[in-house]
Amino acid sequence: MRTHNSGKSSLGALVMAPIHFLMGILDAPLRWLQRATGIGGMAAFFLMPNMLIFGIFVLLPFFINFAYSMTGGTALFLPDRTFVGAGQYARLFDCRSYLDPGSCAEDTFWTAVKNTAWFVVLQVTLMILVSLVTALILNRDLAARSFWRAVFFFPVLLSPVVVGLIWKWILQRQGLLNFGLYGLGFDPHVWLNDRNWAFAATIGVSIWAHMGFYTLILLAGLQAIPKDLYEAAEMDGTRPARAFWRITLPLLMPNLLVVVVLVLIRAVQIFDEVYVLTGGGPGTSTLYLTQYIYETGFAAQLRNPGLAAAASILMGAVLVVLTLLQLGLGRSEKKGGRK
């Protein structure tokens, strides 16, 4: 036993030796930097790698994208493009009636905006409701509770392309759903060629694919609520529904706000599984804003990177505004609760 322990300690010392040597080399420069810049300078020094990565992969692409939105033509490289100022934005907003996409110069853009708006309203509402109900159920004392939690979280681990292919196999004309309906005596239906069913399918598939993640966030919030509050409410004869509205929902609000923001951002940016599942069809019934940006900038025969960049800037601005509004509402509710 002693020989075994001494062998492990010697192996640990051998592994740690290079680390101690490296730390010894860095110790003197770091001490000098701390004396020269103080604690604030050291904080900036350790933040610099993250800020550098953020600047290269977030800020720089944003400014390049904004520069593209001020140019026109089909050339891909920025120096070869023509400066048009706000012409691309004016083209996007050139409409007689914004409620009628057919009256717009870029009717496909406004069709995508309309589809995305409906998708966001329905998907975000249903996603939050389904995730909340699922979290409440999984928070109860169920048999094999860990198993059911894993089952609901499993789709989150799948690639969006895999999700789209699975449901395309289920919903296509000779797919699993029609096979089951035929076995029950019903006529098969071409689900993905029906505008209404295809739109509903994109909502249902996105909820199935991502609800596990949001359920996990809400479940963590539910488990953080002290059990004493429910016991006191039960002793006072409070009904379960009233306990939910008076105890569970207010204390779950911070987690719920995070879920709303994340679900909203994800819904506006929906692309992968829908592109694989329907390709934006039939017609333009499931054409969403991100797919419009992709096809305009990269997939169309006459590419227009400037128009695609302008549309992406507008989408980002809308996301920022909506997120700030939600955070502002959350803070005002928190202040109102304190009062």
Tokens standing for 292?
A: 């419009």
Which CATH number fits the domain that encloses residue 261? 1.10.3720.10
Q: Tell whether 47 and 109 lie within a shared domain.
A: no
The answer to whether residue 70 sits within a structural domain is no
The average pLDDT across 100-128 equals: 94
**Domain range for 153:** 103-336
Q: Tell whether 51 and 191 lie within a shared domain.
A: no
The predicted-structure confidence for 259-302, as pLDDT tens digits, reads as follows 999 999 999 999 999 999 999 999 999 999 999 999 999 888 88
Distance CA 263, CA 273 (A): 15
Q: Which of 115, 119, 135 is nearest to 259 (CA)?
A: 135
Q: Which of 166, 238, 240, 232 is nearest to 204 (CA)?
A: 166
Domain count for the chain:
2
**pLDDT at position 40 over 80:** no
The predicted-structure confidence for 149-190, as pLDDT tens digits, reads as follows 888 899 999 999 999 999 999 999 889 999 998 888 888 888
Q: Tell whether 122 and 254 lie within a shared domain.
A: yes
The answer to whether residue 142 sits within a structural domain is yes
Which of 24, 42, 57 lies at the terminal end of a domain, its last residue? Answer: 57
Collect all residues with Cβ–Cβ distance below 8 Å to 47 and sequence separation of at least 6.
none
Any alpha helices (H) in 74-194, and if so which ranges?
Answer: 87-92, 107-138, 145-153, 160-171, 176-183
The answer to whether residue 85 sits within a structural domain is no
The answer to whether residue 265 sits within a structural domain is yes
Share of the chain above pLDDT 90, in %: 58
The answer to whether residue 242 sits within a structural domain is yes
Q: Tell whether 181 and 328 lie within a shared domain.
A: yes
Count Cβ atoms below 10 Å from residue 64 Cβ, excluding itself.
12
Q: Tell whether 7 and 124 lie within a shared domain.
A: no
The answer to whether residue 255 sits within a structural domain is yes
Q: Tell whether 127 and 261 lie within a shared domain.
A: yes
The predicted-structure confidence for 207-233, as pLDDT tens digits, reads as follows 999 999 999 999 999 999 998 988 898
Q: Tell whether 251 and 311 lie within a shared domain.
A: yes
Sign of the four-CA dihedral 311, 313, 317, 323: positive
* Amino acid at position 202, single letter: T
**pLDDT at position 7 over 80:** no
Distance CA 205, CA 167 (A): 7
Q: Tell whether 163 and 23 lie within a shared domain.
A: no
Q: Tell whether 132 and 192 lie within a shared domain.
A: yes
Q: Tell whether 135 and 31 lie within a shared domain.
A: no
The answer to whether residue 76 sits within a structural domain is no
Q: Tell whether 152 and 49 lie within a shared domain.
A: no
The answer to whether residue 89 sits within a structural domain is no
For residue 294, CA distances in Å to 51, 138, 276, 290 come to 28, 39, 14, 6
Q: Tell whether 50 and 160 lie within a shared domain.
A: no
